[in-house]
Amino acid sequence: MEQVRFGIVGIGNMGTAHVRRFVDGEVPGAVLTAVCDINPARLEWVKSYCAEKGAKQPNAYDDCIKMLDSGDIDAILIAVPHYYHPIYGIEAFKRKIHVLCEKPIGVYTKNVKDFIKAAKESGCAFGLMFNQRTDKYYQKMREMIANGELGELKRCVWIITDWYRTQAYYDSGGWRATWAGEGGGVLLNQCPHNLDLWQWIFGMPSRIRAFCHFGKYHDIEVEDDVTAYAEYPNGATGVFITTTGEYPGTNRLEISGSRGKLVREGRTLKFYRLSVDEREYNATTKEGFGRIPFEVIDVQVEGVGGAHTEICRNFTDHILKGTPLIAPGEEGIRGLSISNAMMLSTWKNDWVDLPIDDDEFYTQLMERVKTSKLKDVLPTEVADLSGTYNN
pLDDT of residue 375: 64
What is the per-residue pLDDT across 353-379, written as a single tens digit (0 to 9) for each?
999 999 999 999 989 988 998 766 544
Same domain, 294 and 312: no
Distance separating the N- and C-terminal Cα atoms of the chain: 33
Whichever domain contains 235, its CATH number is: 3.30.360.10
CATH number at residue 116: 3.40.50.720
Strands 207-214 and 223-231: antiparallel
Cα distances from 70 to residues 45, 74, 168, 377, in angstroms, run 21, 10, 38, 28
Strands ordered across the beta sheet of 260-265: 294-298, 268-274, 260-265, 251-257, 153-160, 237-243, 223-231, 207-214, 352-353
Are 149 and 216 in the same domain?
yes
Q: Is 81 helix (H, G, I), strand (E, B) or coil?
A: coil
Same domain, 17 and 40: yes
The answer to whether residue 125 is domain-embedded is yes
Residue 281 sits in the same domain as residue 141: yes
Are residues 244 and 122 located together in one domain of the fold?
no
pLDDT value of residue 45: 98
The full DSSP string for 202-225 is: H---SEEEEEEEESSSSS-SSEEE
User: Taking phi first (over 0 means left), then psi (-120 to 50 degrees means alpha), and beta for anything else, what does residue 23 get?
Assistant: alpha
Same domain as 160, residue 90? no
Domain count of the chain? Answer: 2
Consecutive 10-residue averages of pLDDT for the chain (391 residues)? 96 96 98 97 98 97 97 98 93 98 96 96 98 98 98 98 97 85 94 98 98 98 98 98 98 98 97 98 97 98 93 98 98 98 98 97 91 65 33 37
Q: What is the pTM of this model?
A: 0.94
Q: Are residues 359 and 325 in the same domain?
A: no
Q: Tell me: the pLDDT tens digits for 200-244?
A: 999 999 999 999 999 999 999 999 999 999 999 999 999 999 999
Say yes or no: 270 and 343 in one domain.
yes
Rg (CA), the chain: 22
In a domain, 285, yes or no: yes
Check whether the bond before 379 is cis (ω within 30° of 0): no
Residue 390 lies in a domain: no
Q: How many CB atoms lie within 10 A of CB 265?
A: 14
Asked whether residue 137 is domain-assigned, the answer is: yes
Both 99 and 190 in one domain: the answer is no
Segment 281-309, tens digit of pLDDT: 999 999 999 999 999 999 999 888 999 99
Tally of CA atoms within 13 A in the half-sphere of 160 that contains its CB: 23
| Helix, coil or strand: residue 33 | strand
Does a structural domain hold residue 386? Answer: no
Domain match, 315 and 366 both: no
Which domain, by its residues, includes 195?
Answer: 133-302+335-381
Q: Is residue 113, in this structure, part of any structural domain at all?
A: yes
Provide the pLDDT for residue 388.
32
